[in-house]
Amino acid sequence: APTFAVIKAAKGSTRIASILVQYLKAVGISVIGIVIVIGLLNGNAFMTGFEAFKGVKLVYVVPIAGVLLFVMLELNRIVDQDLKKTLSNTVTLLNRDLKYWHVLLLIVVAGIGLFYISRTGNSGSVSNAELAFRQWLENILYVRPRTKEFLIGFPFFVLALYVMGINRKWGSILLVPGVIGFLSIVNTFTHLHIPVAVSALRTLYSVSLGFVVGLVFILIFKIGYRFISKAIARWS
Considering the entire predicted model, what is its pTM? 0.81
pLDDT-derived band at 83 (thresholds 50, 70, 90) equals low
pLDDT at position 215, please? 96
* CA dist 161 → 24, 101, 149 (Å): 12, 30, 16
Dihedral sign for Cα atoms in the order 226, 228, 234, 236: negative
What is the mean pLDDT of the segment spanning 7-20? 94
Using CA atoms, how far apart are residues 169 and 142, in angstroms rounded to an integer?
40
What is the mean pLDDT of the segment spanning 102-112? 72
What is the mean pLDDT of the segment spanning 89-94? 64
pLDDT at position 194, please? 84
Half-sphere exposure in the Cβ direction for 47 (13 Å, CA): 8
- Comparing C-alpha atoms, which of 192, 194, 195, 197 is closest to residue 41? 192
Q: 29-79: per-residue pLDDT in tens? A: 999 999 998 888 888 877 776 777 777 788 888 999 999 888 888 777 655
Q: 217-232: per-residue pLDDT in tens? A: 999 999 998 888 777 7
| Range from 15-29, 89-103, 112-126, 139-153 carrying the lowest mean pLDDT | 112-126
CA 36 to chain centre: 21
* CA dist 74 → 71, 152, 182, 234 (Å): 5, 23, 20, 33
Measured from the Cβ of residue 189, the count of other Cβ atoms closer than 10 Å reads 23
Percent of the chain with pLDDT over 90: 43
pLDDT of 27 above 90 = yes
Question: Average model confidence (pLDDT) for the chain?
Answer: 83
pLDDT at position 119, please? 60
Q: Where are the alpha helices (DSSP H) in 147-195?
A: 147, 154-164, 168-173, 175-188
What is the mean pLDDT of the segment spanning 165-171? 90
